[in-house]
Structure 1
């Protein structure tokens, strides 16, 4: 049986949210997706929920509080900083990549153009985090 992950998806593009949900369905994954459209909404979700997400998928380019700002806020909170954050973005900017790793991300994935490539990347990410010992504690 596959472990069910609780995933916080922080994404402002409705099409991208639909693509993620479609991917999870097509891969027959039991994961629970919690959605937030920006960093501010995500912080509210984290403060209101009794069960923290196993992983966070974070877009960089969002209104209000962008991905980098959210990441800095998250990593400054002792009760939240352990949550693995995977950047899921269209940005291939090396500066963005290095800045995010300096703040403390667990991975950086550039969204591919082809849907099949996207599905494969998401499958690999979820397979890894499903067996990661941090998640199984």
Structure 2
């Protein structure tokens, strides 16, 4: 049974498989979340602009076409409505320079993508707890 949707999470990732895995992980650990997917930063900005819902969490892949995660992050942090929205950079890169740049541009967290579904589901559960998603309106 699907719970009533109570909060929105926006995810920008250009990889079809990664979006599918993220959807499955949220369905397992946060079935009450309304997950909105974008294929890149431009698509994300359009989705945010068109949505009546404010995001409780934004997850950005680092490497995307048109507008990458760092460029998207910078735009979001310069938009007053998203200044306090938790934004996670989610990447396969474990490069210290990528991490430092993400934090310098305003990321709340930088997470290296887990290698298996169980770890991803546990990560989603951790995000739900760490960012108090259940209390977000």
State the shift of 1:112 in Å.
1.5
Partners of 2:108 and 2:17 lie apart in 1 by 24
CA deviation vs aligned residue, 1:53-75 (integer Å, no higher than 9, x gap): 11101100000000001111111
* Runs of 4+ that moved beyond 6 A: none
Partners of 1:80 and 1:28 lie apart in 2 by 22
Work out the number of aligned pairs and report it.
135
Q: Is the 8 A contact 2:58 2:86 kept in 1?
A: yes
Partners of 2:109 and 2:5 lie apart in 1 by 20
What residue is the counterpart of 2:38 in the other structure?
Answer: 36
Where do 1:1-137 residues align within 5 Å?
4-27=6-29, 29-130=31-132, 135=136
State the shift of 1:3 in Å.
8.2
State the shift of 1:89 in Å.
1.0
Give TM-score scaled by structure 2 length. 0.88
**Structure with bigger RCO (C-alpha 8 Å, 6+ apart):** 2
